[in-house]
Structures are given as C-alpha cells and as structure tokens.
Amino acid sequence: MSPSDAADDLEITVRQYLNTGAKQLWVLYPETKDVHVFEASRLSVLNGEDVLNGGVLLPGFAVIVSELFSGSHATP
C-alpha cells in the first residue's frame, strides 16, 4: 500500500482478484507495519511478531511480520 493508494480502490482490486480465483492476497502497510491477509471469506491482520506463512500456496515460506518492515525507514 502506498500513500497514493485510495482505500476504496484497494478494496475494489482485492475483490476483483478474489472473484477471479485468487486464493489469498497480502497487502503490506508500511506506516502501521501491518499485513492484511485477504481470503475469500476472511481477513486477518498481522503485525509485530506474528508469522506470515505461505500455507498451501507457498509451502515452507514463513516470515515474522516485523522483519518485513525492518529496513523500510533505515537511512544509509
């Protein structure tokens, strides 16, 4: 999610993907350091030490949510 993305537009996009067969979508929010996991009938919000895993779509993939954002505001 970038600052220029409108919430309504994102919701439409998520619905389109799910309606056309996507099993799961991940939307990362750098400002709040949350990950929203969308599935056909459910939304999960992960943050901090929660684990984002690939489930049956990406077996063996797992990452701690805070690690996704650890370098997002680092300065050289």
> Model confidence over 34-59: pLDDT tens digits?
999 999 889 999 999 999 999 888 99
Assigned domain for 73 exists:
no
Q: How many domains, the chain?
A: 1
Assigned domain for 74 exists:
no
Assigned domain for 33 exists:
yes
Its domain, for residue 13, covers 7-68
Number of residues assigned to the chain: 76
Contacts 24+ apart (CB under 8 A), 21-29: 23/57, 24/55, 24/57, 26/52, 27/1, 28/1, 28/68, 28/69, 29/1
Assigned domain for 75 exists:
no
Give the SS3 label for residue 56: coil
Q: ∠15-3-66 over CA atoms, to 5°?
A: 85
Please tell me the pTM assigned to this model: 0.79
11, amino acid identity? E
pLDDT tens column, 5-30: 777 788 899 999 999 999 999 999 98
Assigned domain for 76 exists:
no
Assigned domain for 2 exists:
no
